[in-house]
Amino acid sequence: MSLKNIVVVLYQPQDIVNVGGVVRVMSNFGLSRLRLVEPAAYDPYRIEGIAHHTTKIAEAIERFPSLEEALADCGFVLGTTARKRGTLREHLTPRQAGPYLFQYASTNPETPTALLFGREDDGLPNEALDLCHALVTVPTDPTNSSLNLAQAALVIAYELWSATHPPEHPQIIPAEPRPLGAPPRWGDLPSSLEALEAALAEDEQLANGSDREEMFAALTRMLRALHPDSTDLKMTYSMARLRAILLRAAPRREESRLLAHLFQHITRRVQPKEKRV
């Protein structure tokens, strides 16, 4: 879906750096039409210097002396506001606004659809809001709710892009979170391992010392084959963490032997042929 009939309108932008930031955002998310209403400064060469590789967008920027003229040919106007206003217009979140804007633009491809942003310090005045069909507000932490103009444009442009470009892969539903204890500190690892090994040794059905050492030796060889350039410290730490995981799993004798054979098989597969023994 092309976004060519969606126009971004900046009302009285005060800083050309912010205009350049919006141009960069537009380039990132497939928007190409920008209209400036009473800009405090305008320099297309500087805009291109701020937003690299956006020459086509910068060259096509339109300027208007009034907001009414900038929106005259637009069939739908979505205005942005930092807070909910006491109007009868529908208030949307960016997540809602993306599909909302996309639906109107796609069903009215010959009519421009406007995404309107206000000036950096005061936003949109009431008379500008009167020209909007709906409003969108980016939810933020109330202790620091102000967003830069380009930041606000980025959030909404991303949601619009997402509405027109569904993900290639199906959504993965995460498993129920399980409470995890804090990981052991490096200095505590040796004593933790000794305590786990001592506890496991009390259960005759679990792998005994020789079975575990065979399994750990195979694990060490596999790690060195997989990461031949790793430092001794990194290797020691990785080995300690994996030993702890295996000890917590408490493998039985046949399971530990199976793991040892698996580690040996992986080692043989990753080692160069001339180094295999």
Q: What is the pLDDT of residues 37-65, one digit of tens each?
A: 999 988 888 888 888 888 899 999 999 99
Q: Output the six-digit token pair for 138.
A: 């980016």
pLDDT single digits (tens) 193-206: 566 556 555 544 55
Amino acid at 258: L
- For position 204, what pLDDT does the model report? 44
Q: Longest Cα pair distance anywhere in the chain, in angstroms?
A: 87
Burial class (CB in 10 A: 0-12, 13-18, 19+), 243: buried
Average pLDDT over every residue of 17-29: 94
> How much is the average pLDDT of 107-113?
91
pLDDT in tens, 81-104: 887 765 567 889 999 999 889 888
d(CA 61, CA 215): 68
pLDDT tens for residues 131-175? 999 999 998 888 888 889 999 999 999 999 998 887 665 566 665
For each of the domains in the chain, give its residue range(s) and CATH number, in order of start: 6-164 (3.40.1280.10), 186-275 (no CATH)
For residue 188, give the 3-state DSSP assignment. Answer: helix
> What pLDDT is stored for residue 261 in this prediction?
77
Q: Which two tokens stand for residue 206?
A: 């679990």
Q: Where are the alpha helices (DSSP H) in the chain?
A: 16-28, 44-50, 55-59, 67-70, 94-107, 126-129, 149-164, 189-201, 209-226, 232-249, 253-270
Counted residue by residue, the chain has a size of 277
The DSSP output letter for 75 is S
Q: What confidence score (pLDDT) does residue 178 get?
A: 54
Per-residue pLDDT at 276 exceeds 50: no
CA 32 – CA 39 distance, rounded (Å): 18
pLDDT of 29 above 70? yes
